[in-house]
Amino acid sequence: MDLKNKYSELLFWVLQLVGWSMLSSVMFIIPELSNTYKIYSFFTGTAVAILATSGYRYYLKQHIDFTSFKEKNLIRIFFSFIACVATYYFLFIFTDYFYELIWQKTPLEIQWFEENSSFLYSIISTSVTILIWTIIYLGIKFIISINKNRLENLELQSTLKEAQLNTLKGQVNPHFMFNSLNNIRGLMLEDVEKSREMITKLSEMLQYALSKNTVNAIALSEELEMVDNYIALAKIQMEDRLEYQKHIDENSMPVLIPPMIIQLLVENAAKHGIANLKNGGTISLTTRVTNQQLHIEVRNTGNLTISENSTKLGLKNIQQRLRLLYGVKAEFTLDEIEGHVLAIIKIPTL
């Protein structure tokens, strides 16, 4: 638990103790009650209220999505509210019965309860009290959720711009531009049409990197086009040393993914994997949809010790964006398996 969560947890318990203690202290202003009963009801009333609402809160935290008040969530809140009211009431009855066993109420106390309390009154007052607690708790959680979403959106935009910047660093820096343009110039002596095609691919890549810094998701098919452009340009320099294989499930083509997420993986695989191998190697891209989940695999010849200093460039960015967009529903792993580096991304398709 981080410092912020610890502070929030501590604040909750402080408010619980202070709030319920203040409510229980109302008993002290009733002159018909004995001091013994007042002190007993103060401590037991506070403890019962804290116990009942803490269990209620635990259920809400585990089963309620505070960012969406859909019918399912409202039904869960309603029945957990009823359960909390019942728990509060029966615990209070038990503590009152326990008091009778030890001290017993005075005739004046019995008369006061007969005149001022009944089963219906107790249920209504308990329900109103828990309802007020519920409204305050859900209101605070809703405000916190809105602020959290706002901060996460800002963080998401920041990481998206970082991804775009990282892509531009790999595509606009003088070394890359010099190699690409020089290779294209050499290619013009052999194949003018292909040279024109490569210039078009280079311009499309630059435009893609510049234009996708304001969106959170694009179709996988659009991302694959840019990956193909990158591979085509990389092959001019590495020629037969770079082999590229694709195994694309047609069902995965329309699935929305964060932009430049595959681009970063393929680029790192080429620049810091294949380029460092004397005999070159293979980059293999595989996508498939299984159980409403998109699997993306980028495999390249080599090992993590070769690309250790560079695969981390986009690793943090990828992890941040997946966390912000999908939470725990997304996975990202990077491993070395039998002479290959394997990157796997899993994201929900819905």
Mean of pLDDT values over 83-104: 89
Mean of pLDDT values over 70-84: 87
Tens digits of residue pLDDT in 256-297: 998 888 988 888 888 778 878 888 899 999 999 998 899 999
Return the structure tokens found at 329. Answer: 């529903």
> Boundaries of CATH 3.30.565.10 in the chain?
173-348
Report the alpha-carbon distance of residue 203 to residue 161 in Å, rounded.
Answer: 19
Does residue 173 have a pLDDT over 50? no
Range with lowest mean pLDDT among 66-80, 117-131, 197-211, 308-322? 308-322
Tens digits of residue pLDDT in 129-169: 999 999 988 888 888 777 777 777 776 666 666 655 455 44
Q: What are the C-alpha distances in Å from 94 to residues 2, 39, 44, 129, 171?
A: 39, 17, 10, 19, 73
Does residue 170 have a pLDDT over 60? no
Average pLDDT, the chain: 81
pLDDT confidence band for 231 (50 / 70 / 90) = confident
Helices 192-211, 119-172: inter-axial angle, 10-degree rounding: 150
Provide the 10 A C-beta neighbour count for residue 254.
12
CA angle in degrees (0–180, nearest 5) for 155-156-157: 90
User: By the 8 A CB rule, do 48 and 87 touch?
Assistant: no
User: For residues 163, 168, 171 and 173, what is the CA-based torsion angle, rounded to 10 degrees?
Assistant: -130
Between 313 and 89, the more confident residue is: 89
Amino acid at 241: R
Return the structure tokens found at 216. Answer: 């959170």
Task: Write down the pLDDT at residue 172.
Answer: 42
Share of the chain above pLDDT 70, in %: 85
User: For residues 94, 97, 99 and 103, what is the CA-based torsion angle, rounded to 10 degrees?
Assistant: -170
DSSP type of residue 277: S
Mean of pLDDT values over 324-341: 86
Domain spanning 173-348, CATH class: alpha beta
Does residue 108 have a pLDDT over 80? yes
CA angle in degrees (0–180, nearest 5) for 345-166-293: 15
Q: What are the C-alpha distances in Å from 39 to residues 21, 24, 43?
A: 11, 10, 7
Does residue 319 have a pLDDT over 70? yes
Between 300 and 324, the more confident residue is: 300
Return the structure tokens found at 213. Answer: 């810094």
Between 99 and 70, the more confident residue is: 99
Between 333 and 177, the more confident residue is: 333
Return the structure tokens found at 280. Answer: 């070159």
Provide the 10 A C-beta neighbour count for residue 137.
17
DSSP type of residue 33: S
Task: Write down the pLDDT at residue 191.
Answer: 74
Tens digits of residue pLDDT in 181-220: 777 777 777 777 778 888 887 787 777 766 665 677 889 9
